[in-house]
Structure 1
Amino acid sequence: MAMQNQSNKVLSAALVETADRYWLRLCEVWPEATTELSKVQQQELMSVFALSDYIAEQLCRRPEWIVQLFDGLLDDIDRSQFDSELHVQLADVTQEEQAKSVLRRYRNLQMVRLAWRDFLNYTPVEESLLDLSSLAEALVIAGRDWVYQDMCKQFGTPTSAEGKPQPLLILGMGKLGGRELNFSSDIDLIFTFPEHGETVGGRRAQANQQFFIKMGQRLVNILDQVTVDGFVFRVDMRLRPYGESGPLVVSFSGLEDYYQEQGRDWERYAMVKARVLGPWSGYCDELHDLLRPFVYRRYIDFSAIESLRKMKQLIAQEVRRRQLTDNIKLGAGGIREVEFVVQSFQLIRGGREPALRQQSLFGAIDTLYSLGQLEYLAVDELKHSYILLRRVENLLQAIDDKQTQTLPNNDLDWQRLCVPLELNDETQLREQIHHAMATIHGHFNATVGGSDNHEYNDHWSSLVWNIQQDEDALALLQEQQIEDEALWPMLSDWRQTVSKRSIGPRGRETLDKLMPKLLEELFNQSTPSLAFKPVSNVLDKILTRTTYLELLCENPGARQQLVSLCCASPWIARELANFPMLLDELIDPSQLYDITSIDDYPSELRQYLLRVPEDDMEQQMEALRQFKLSQQLKIAAADVTGVLPVMQVSDHLTFLAEAIIEQVVLQAWHQVSERHGVPEGTSPSNMGFAVIGYGKLGGLELGYGSDLDLVFLHGHSGAGSTNGPRSIDNSHFYLKLAQRIVHLFATRTTSGELYEVDMRLRPSGASGLLVSEIEQFGQYQLTEAWTWEHQALVRARFVFGDYTLAGRFSDLRGQILQQARNQTDLAKAVRDMRIKMRDHLLHVEPGQFDLKQSAGGIADIEFIAQYLVLAYAHQHQELTIWSDNVRIFEVLADLELLPVMHAQHLTQTYCWLRDENHELTLQQLPGKLPHHTVEQKTDAVIEIYNEILQP
Structure 2
Amino acid sequence: MQQADQCFTSVPAALHPLLERNLARVESALASMQALPEELHAQLARVLVGSDYVAEQLQRHPDWLAELISSGDLQQAYADSTYAERLQARLSTITDEKELHRQLRLFRQREMVRLIWRDLNRLTDMRGTTRELSRLADACIDRTLDWLYEQACQRWGVPHSRPDANGLRHPQRMVVLGMGKLGADELNLSSDIDLIFSFPANGETDGERKNLDNQDFFIRLGQKLIQALDNLTVDGFVFRVDMRLRPFGSAGPLACSFAAMESYYQDQGRDWERYAMIKARVVAGDKVAGAELTQLLRPFVYRKYIDFSAFESLRDMKAMINREVRRKGLDQNVKLGAGGIREVEFIAQAFQLIRGGRDAELQQRELLKILPLLPDKVGMPEEAVAELTEAYTFLRNVEHGIQAIADKQTQELPADEEGRARLAFAQGYADWNALADALDRYRATVSRHFADVIAPSEESEAQDDDLRTEWLALWQGMMDDESAQAFLAEQGYGQPQVALKALQDLKGLRTVQMLQQVALERLEAVLPALLEQAGQCDNPEVTLGRVLVLVQAVLRRSAYFVLLAENPAALKQLVRLCSASAWFAEQLSRQPVLLDELIDPRTLYSPPDLSALRTELRQQLLRIPEDDIEQLMETLRYFKHAHMLKVAASDITGVLPLMKVSDYLTWLAEAVLEAVLEIAWRNLTEKHGTPQRSPGIPCDPDFIIVGYGKVGGIELSYGSDLDLVFLHDAAANLETDGDRPIANSVFFNRLGQRIIHILNTFTPSGILYEVDMRLRPSGNSGLLVSSLSAFREYQEKDAWTWEHQALVRARVVAGSPALAERFEQERRAILSKPREVEQLRTEVAEMRAKMREHLGSKPLPEDAPSVFNLKQDRGGIVDIEFMVQYLVLRHAADLPELLRWTDNIRILDSIEAAGLLTSDEAELLREAYKAYRAAGHRLTLQNLSGVLGEEEMREYREGVAAIWQRLLGA
Matches within 5 A, 1:511-550: 511-550=523-562
Residues 816 and 542 of structure 1: CA distance in aligned 2, closer, same or farther (over 3 Å)? same
Give 1:336's aligned residue: 363
Shift of 1:522: 2.3
Q: Which residue identity is paired with 2:609?
A: S
| 1:601 shift after superposition | 1.1
CA distance in 2, matches of 1:675, 1:544: 41
TM-score by length of 2: 0.58
Evaluate the alpha carbon distance shift between residue 482 and residue 816 of structure 1 in structure 2; reply closer, same or farther with a 3 A threshold. closer
Measure how far apart 1:571 and its partner are: 0.5
Question: CA-to-partner distance for each residue in 1:202-227, whole Å, 9 max, x for gaps?
Answer: xxxxxxxxxxxxxxxxxxxxxxxxxx
Equivalences for 1:214-225 in 2 at 5 Å? none
Structure 1 residue 914 corresponds to structure 2 residue 933 = yes
Letter in 1 for 2:875: G
Residue identity in the other structure for 2:907: I
Within the candidate set 731, 739, 757, 1:717 is matched to 731
- Once residues 803 and 281 of structure 2 are traced to their aligned partners in structure 1, the CA distance between those partners, rounded to angstroms, is 55
Partner Cα separation in structure 2 for residue 619 and residue 773 of structure 1: 32
Deviation at 1:591, TM superposition (A): 2.6
Aligned to 1:635: 647
Partners in 1 of 2:808 and 2:653 — Cα distance? Answer: 34
Does the CA contact (< 8 Å) of 1:342 and 1:365 recur in 2? no
Equivalent position of 1:316 in the other structure:
354
1:150-184, CA deviations, whole angstroms, 9 ceiling, x for partnerless residues? Answer: xxxxxxxxxxxxxxxxxxxxxxxx99999999645
8 A Cα contact 2:282 2:290, kept in partner: no
1:449 aligns with 2:456: no
Query: Mapping of 1:469-508 within 5 angstroms?
Result: 469-477=480-488, 484-486=495-497, 487-497=499-509, 500-508=512-520
For 2:912, the equivalent position in structure 1 comes to 893
Once the 2 structures are TM-superposed, how far is the Cα of residue 374 of structure 1 from its aligned partner?
A: 9.0
Counterpart in 1 of 2:741?
Answer: 727
Over residues 628-661 of structure 1, what are the superposed CA-to-partner deviations in whole Å (9 max), with x where a residue is unaligned?
0010000000001001112210000000000000
Equivalent in the alignment of 1:876: 895
Secondary structure at the residue paired with 2:948?
A: strand
For residues 241-320 of structure 1, the aligned pairs below 5 Å read: 316-317=354-355, 319=357
Q: 1:596 deviation in Å?
A: 1.8
Asked if 1:752 is matched to 2:766, the reply is yes
Question: Which residue number in structure 2 is paired with residue 465 of structure 1?
Answer: 472
Deviation of 1:709 after TM superposition, in Å, equals: 0.5
The share of aligned pairs that are identical, in percent, is 38
The answer to whether the aligner puts 1:905 opposite 2:905 as a matched pair is no
CA distance change for structure 1 residues 478 and 573 in 2, over 3 Å: closer, same or farther? closer
From the superposition, tell whether residues 444 and 366 of structure 1 become closer, same or farther in structure 2 (CA, over 3 Å): closer
Paired residue for 2:789, among 775, 788, 809? 775
Mapping of residues 318-397 of structure 1, within 5 Å: 319=357, 336=363, 338-340=365-367, 342-344=369-371, 371-372=397-398
- Number of paired residues? 622
* Deviation digits for residues 497-527 of structure 1 (CA, Å, limit 9, x no counterpart): 3675422121011112111222222232244
Aligned pairs for 1:905-944 (under 5 A) are: 905-944=924-963
Q: Is the CA contact (8 Å cut-off) linking 2:582 and 2:943 kept in structure 1?
A: yes
> Which residue matches 1:766?
780
Cα distance in 2, alignment partners of residues 511 and 42 from structure 1: 60
Deviations 1:421-479 (A, max 9, x none): xxxxxxxxxxxxxxxxxxxxx99994983264455543223323224222332344456
Partner deviation per Cα, 1:791-845 (whole Å, 9 max, x = no partner): 1100100111111101100110000000011010111111111112122222445
Quote the residue 2:302 is aligned against.
Answer: none
Cα contact 2:570–2:599 (8 A) shared by 1: yes
**Does the 8 A contact of 1:175 with 1:181 survive in 2?**
no
Counterpart position of 2:871: 852
- Partner Cα distance (1:842, 1:938) in 2: 14
> One-letter code of the match for 1:918?
H
Once the two structures are TM-superposed, the CA of residue 60 in structure 1 deviates from its matched residue by 6.0
Q: Distance in 1 between matches of 2:944 and 2:757?
A: 30
C-alpha change, 1:481 and 1:687, in structure 2 (3 Å) is closer
Aligned partners of 2:490, 2:657: CA distance in 1, in Å?
A: 41
Q: Distance in 1 between matches of 2:495 and 2:963?
A: 50
Distance across 2 between alignment mates of 1:547 and 1:639: 28
Aligned twin of 1:209: none
Summarize the Cα distance change of 1:705–1:3 in structure 2 as closer, same or farther, 3 Å threshold: farther
Q: Secondary structure at the match of 1:798?
A: strand
Q: Which runs of 5+ in 1 are unaligned?
A: 6-37, 75-112, 128-173, 188-232, 235-304, 323-328, 349-363, 378-382, 385-441
Paired residues of 1:695 and 1:709 also in contact (CA < 8 A): yes
Residue 687 of structure 1 is matched in structure 2 by 701
**Partner of 1:668 in structure 2?**
680
* Distance in 1, Cα, partners of 2:922 & 2:578: 38
Given that 1:665 and 1:741 are in contact with CA atoms closer than 8 Å, whether structure 2 keeps it comes out as yes
Superposition deviation, residue 715 in structure 1: 1.2
Alpha carbons 2:486, 2:496 under 8 Å: kept: no
User: TM-score under structure 1 normalisation?
Assistant: 0.59
Shift of 1:949: 1.2
Provide the alpha-carbon RMSD of the alignment.
4.5
Match of 1:626 among 633, 638, 645: 638
Name the SS for the 1:371 alignment partner: helix
Query: Any conservation in 2 of the 1:703–1:918 contact (CA below 8 Å)?
Result: yes
Q: Distance in 1 between matches of 2:165 and 2:153?
A: 17
Cα pair 1:175 1:182 within 8 Å, conserved: no
DSSP 3-state at the match of 2:564: helix
**CA–CA separation in structure 2 for the residues paired with 1:125 and 1:912:** 80
Gap change, CA 1:885 and 1:479, over 3 Å in 2: closer
Shift of 1:893: 1.0
Q: Are the equivalent residues in 2 in contact too, given 1:309–1:448 (CA < 8 A)?
A: no
Match of 1:566 among 578, 586, 596: 578
CA separation in 2, counterparts of 1:375 and 1:347? 29
- Cα distance in 1 between the residues matched to 2:964 and 2:511: 61
Distance 2:545 2:801 in 1: 50
Q: Deviations over 1:243-299 (max 9, x none)?
A: xxxxxxxxxxxxxxxxxxxxxxxxxxxxxxxxxxxxxxxxxxxxxxxxxxxxxxxxx
Give the whole-Å Cα distance in 1 for the aligned partners of 2:897 and 2:220: 73
Q: CA deviation at 1:722?
A: 1.1
Residues 184/842 of structure 1: CA separation in 2 closer, same or farther (3 Å cut): farther
Q: Who is 2:275 aligned against?
A: none
The secondary structure found in structure 2 opposite 1:722 is: coil
**1:669 touches 1:684 (CA, 8 Å); kept in 2?**
no
In structure 2, distance between residues paired with 1:318 and 1:684: 40
Partner SS for 2:774: coil
**Cα distance between partner residues in 1 of 2:467 and 2:487:** 8
Tell me if structure 1 keeps the 8 A contact 2:152–2:221.
no
Three-state SS of the structure 2 residue aligned to 1:932 is coil
Aligned to 2:89: none
8 Å contact kept, 1:369–1:375: no
Unaligned runs of 5+ in 2: 1-94, 101-149, 177-213, 230-278, 297-342, 376-389, 404-408, 411-445, 861-865
Q: Match of 1:753, SS?
A: coil
Equivalents in 2 of 1:185, 1:603: separation in Å? 32
Structure 2 Cα separation of the partners of residues 311 and 594 of structure 1: 28
- Partners of 2:401 and 2:547 in 1: CA distance: 45
Offset of 1:781 from its aligned partner?
0.9
Q: Which amino acid aligns with 2:911?
A: L
**Structure 1 counterpart of 2:967:** 948
CA distance in 2, matches of 1:859, 1:126: 83
User: 1:935–1:39: structure 2 CA closer, same or farther, 3 Å change rule?
Assistant: closer
